[in-house]
Structure 1
Amino acid sequence: MKWCLDDVREMHAAAPYTFYIPSEEVFRQLKVGDLVKLIFMNEHPSSDGYGGERMWVKITDVQGNQFEGVLDNEPYYLPIEVGTELSFGIEHICQTEYEEPDGEKWDYYANTFVIVSADVLEREEFHFMLRDNPNGEEDSGWSFLSGYEDDAYLSDTENFLIVSIGVVLNMDDSILSIVQQPPLCAYERDEEGTFQEIEDYDWDGYLNG
């Protein structure tokens, strides 16, 4: 079984609100003796779906954005031993032991939850968003629809899921300012692709229907 190190910057670029990587401020603090986490990938995924694992590496040398280190924990599957010497770059580091200055922001992306229709996740797009009063500390009150759902689809609770708000922001982060608006509010995307508030939304019908 062969392995390689994954480029976490590519993974972050594909999902910037759900795949965390350390900030430049954190990277600048790294020094010999620090532990960093890398993603070791199986070059050929096994039949059971195993793709790789995240493991801690202790830094032994720093040269700009390039590092030397030794594996600091025991792998579950990969044929590599604790103490193995490694060369890696800043693009391979997905976690450090340092506190992230933007930690509250990342907590918000991961721990704030919204309701989406399954159609939103399938299409990876949404055209309607509504904020009800939150039900609990981590509930944002936001719901998202693709705009293609019919009445039968909307009446079936099995068609709805709870996901982190980061999942929705990965699709369209133009709503970052909108999601801070207080309940009760509703928005729909216009022909130019911009969300506009629905001033005459039927809240009585929604809340009492």
Structure 2
Amino acid sequence: MSSPILPNYYLDDPRLRAAEARYTFFLPSMAEIAAVQPNDLVKLLFEYTHETEEYAGERMWVKVGRAEGDHLSGTLGNQPYEPTSPLKPDDAITFERHHIVDIIWNRPDDAPPTSEYREYWERCLVDDCVLNGSEPIEYLYREEPDMTQEGDKHTDSGWRIRGRFNGASDEELAERKASYVALGAVLNRDDSWLAWIDEPAGTRLTRNFETGIYVREE
């Protein structure tokens, strides 16, 4: 009989996530990461390697104790939510600078300037074929926002986004499934229309796939 897999974890490298989700997953700048010193708090991505009950991974804070070049160590700063986690507060954690996804400075006045970037959390309605990457965007328009949902702190942008028609009939297009998601989730898949994102309600755009240019419909 095989032995049970004991609870264990590894630290995920967030750089791949950031590259795949440039508009929804943001990392501190290289200057910020390089400036991390003892007594700063840093957030890391813990991924469990055993079968879990609730969470396959958690983002948790670590208080830095030592920093020697790219190699750091510290102690876990919070209680894991996953019941089967092998970790507990004050456990020793070793990691490297590239594992850091967020920082709370012990001395904020001495910290480098925070990176400035635009976030795209406003919502839009988009064909699922765009979200799953099976079709690029072909047609999009912006109407007056009317889908803001109760409890959602992010408002409806008014953008409505259709995947490539690819010869589909009107009935087939009508049957396509769509999702109400953040603009950033769409941009992660297809950001070819980013230059138009601040255009006003009433804007209608069709993509010319030969030139890659969006043409405004009057």
Q: What TM-score bracket applies, with the shorter chain setting the length?
A: 0.7 to 0.9
TM-superposed deviation, 1:155? 4.1
Could you tell me which residue of structure 2 aligns to residue 93 of structure 1?
100
Could you tell me which residue of structure 2 aligns to residue 167 of structure 1?
185
Contact 2:43 2:62 in 1 (8 A): yes
Contact 1:124 1:171 in 2 (8 A): no
Q: Which runs of 4+ in 1 moved over 6 A?
A: none
2:199 is aligned with 1:199: no
TM-superposed deviation, 1:128? 1.4
> Which of 21, 25, 34 is the matching residue for 1:19?
25
> Cα–Cα, structure 1 residues 22 and 83, in superposed 2: closer, same or farther, change >3 Å?
same
Secondary structure, counterpart of 2:197 in structure 1: helix
Could you tell me which residue of structure 2 aligns to residue 205 of structure 1?
none
Could you tell me which residue of structure 2 aligns to residue 134 of structure 1?
145
Relative to the length of structure 2, the TM-score reads 0.77
> Cα–Cα, structure 1 residues 27 and 59, in superposed 2: closer, same or farther, change >3 Å?
same
**Residues 118-137 of structure 1, C-alpha deviation per residue, up to 9 Å, x if partnerless?**
23223253221212233467
- Letter of the aligned partner of 1:83 in structure 2? D
Relative to the length of structure 1, the TM-score reads 0.80
Contact 2:135 2:164 in 1 (8 A): no
Q: Which runs of 5+ in 1 are unaligned?
A: 201-209
Contact 2:131 2:189 in 1 (8 A): no
TM-superposed deviation, 1:190? 1.4
Aligned pairs for 1:45-124 within 5 A: 45-46=51-52, 48=53, 50-75=55-80, 76=82, 77-97=84-104, 100-102=114-116, 105-106=118-119, 109=120, 111-122=121-132, 123=134
> Cα–Cα, structure 1 residues 16 and 60, in superposed 2: closer, same or farther, change >3 Å?
same
Aligned-CA RMSD value: 2.5
**Structure 2 CA distance for aligned equivalents of residues 193 and 90 of structure 1:** 42
Q: Percent identity?
A: 31
Contact 2:44 2:61 in 1 (8 A): yes
**Structure 2 CA distance for aligned equivalents of residues 180 and 35 of structure 1:** 36
Secondary structure, counterpart of 2:145 in structure 1: coil
Q: How many residues align?
A: 194
Contact 1:61 1:69 in 2 (8 A): yes
Contact 1:52 1:78 in 2 (8 A): no
**Structure 2 CA distance for aligned equivalents of residues 124 and 2 of structure 1:** 39
2:185 is aligned with 1:178: no
Contact 2:71 2:96 in 1 (8 A): yes
Could you tell me which residue of structure 2 aligns to residue 204 of structure 1?
none
Secondary structure, counterpart of 1:91 in structure 2: helix
**Structure 2 CA distance for aligned equivalents of residues 132 and 126 of structure 1:** 17
> Cα–Cα, structure 1 residues 67 and 131, in superposed 2: closer, same or farther, change >3 Å?
same
**Structure 2 CA distance for aligned equivalents of residues 45 and 168 of structure 1:** 32
Contact 2:34 2:97 in 1 (8 A): no
**Structure 2 CA distance for aligned equivalents of residues 124 and 97 of structure 1:** 40
